[in-house]
Every structure is written in structure tokens, then in C-alpha cells.
Amino acid sequence: IGPSISELAESANAVIYFGWIVAFLSIMVNLTLYLSHYSTFDGCALEMRSQRYLTIIRLPLVFGLTGATSLFVVRTSGMWSAIQHAYEAYALYQFYLAIVDLCGGRRALITKLQQKEPQPFYQTPPFCCCCVWLPKVRFNGAVLDYCRRTVIQFVVIVPSAMVAEVMIMVADQEHNAAVEVVVAVLSTVSTFFALHGLFVIYKATHDILESYGTTMKFVALKALILIGVVQ
């Protein structure tokens, strides 16, 4: 009683084919959007700010390519996942540098924000409830250094953990489950701290960078990263 093995196989193949179609369409959409943005630079020599911008908007395309390749070659999914997380970390750091750059650099940013009244900068997602007891502070070098360190630890920890997972899986097939759990927990904690640091600097610079439309860019980038965590 119940579906036969052949019926189950056909159902599984249908799901895989559907995944390939969705992945292909996603890649085409992301590639079109990326090329449209890239063409606006008209082939001129890219400034550092423009290079950072292109690095950030390339993130969805990298996600799509690595995810689609994992579907076609399942055995290499660990390697492509490591590449995906490495680029994600790099793009996140470039986003932090872009915010500081748009504010005129580290010294100018601190000078501008020190003029504001003390604010609850640390009471931001994803640690809102955990940081309620922290007092309001005036934005200074220590706050900016905290934001920078949270992003840098993400750049170092997450790609390193993914590479270590791939290497351990290749060397020892019996401990895959335990390794995956450790890497998942480590990556999630590291991601949350990085997001908190970016939320802090976003909250502090929102008024200064409002004309650049950073809100939607910030939401889009964080949504993509959170989807990766849930996945």
C-alpha cells in the first residue's frame, strides 16, 4: 500500500527539476540587475566607493550561482556553501566600509556623531531585549570600534568554520552531524553579532545618510543574510 519506489523517485526528480528552473530564473534576474547597475559606470575606472557598491550588489548573484551549482553537483555543496559564506562576509565588510566612507571617513564620522545627544545605540536588533539595561551613550571611537570588530569577527569566523567543516567531512565521514551542528551554532552567533554591529552604525548614521537611501539597501542586505541563516 502506498506509492511505489518509482513513483517516489519521479516525485523527487520533479522537485529537483523545479529547483533547477527556479535557480536558473533567479540567476538570470540577478545577472540582468547586476549588469544594468554595472553599465551605469560607463566603462570608466571605478573608484573605491563604486567598487564597494558593485561588490555588495553582486552578493545575490553569487548566492544564486553557488546555490544552483550545489543542485547540479550535490557532492560539492559543502565547498560552494563555503564560497558563498566567504563572499557574504566580504560583502558585509564592504558595506560597513561604505557607510564609513559616505560619512567622510572615521574621524569625520565620529566628529559628526559626537555632537548628538547620548542615545541607546546598543539597543538594536537582534539583541534589543538583551541590551535594554545598557545606558545611553554618545557615539565615539569605542562605539565605532565595536561595530568594526563585530563585522571583522564575522569575516574571519564564518568562512573559516565553513572551510573547516568541508575539510573535516572529507577526512572523517562519521562525524558529519556533530560538525554541522557546531558550525551552524558558531556561524549563527557570529552572524547575529555582525548584524548587531551594523544595526548600531546604521542607527547612528541614519540621519546623515538618509539622502543616499540606505534604509532599503540595509534591509535588503540583512534580509539576504538572515535567509541564509534560516536556510
Spatial neighbors of 69 by CB under 8 A, at least 6 apart, are 76, 80
> Residue 229: its pLDDT value, please?
58
Q: All 3 cell numbers of residue 12?
A: 523527487
Q: Which of 135, 90, 47, 99 is nearest to 218 (CA)?
A: 99
Q: All 3 cell numbers of residue 117?
A: 545627544
Q: All 3 cell numbers of residue 54?
A: 558593485
Spatial neighbors of 85 by CB under 8 A, at least 6 apart, are 158, 159, 162, 187, 228
Q: All 3 cell numbers of residue 115?
A: 555632537
Q: All 3 cell numbers of residue 26?
A: 533567479
Query: CA-based diameter of the chain, in Å?
Result: 74
State the Cα–Cα distance between residues 23 and 69, nearest whole angstrom.
9
> Residue 118: its pLDDT value, please?
83
Predicted TM-score of the model (pTM): 0.77
Q: Is the peptide bond before 126 cis (omega within 30 degrees of 0)?
A: yes
pLDDT along the chain (231 residues), means of 10: 48 68 76 72 64 83 80 76 84 88 88 84 75 79 91 89 78 68 85 87 84 70 65 57
In one-letter notation, the amino acid at residue 143 is V
Q: Is 132 helix (H, G, I), strand (E, B) or coil?
A: coil
> Residue 1: its pLDDT value, please?
43
> Residue 8: its pLDDT value, please?
43
Q: Is 105 helix (H, G, I), strand (E, B) or coil?
A: coil
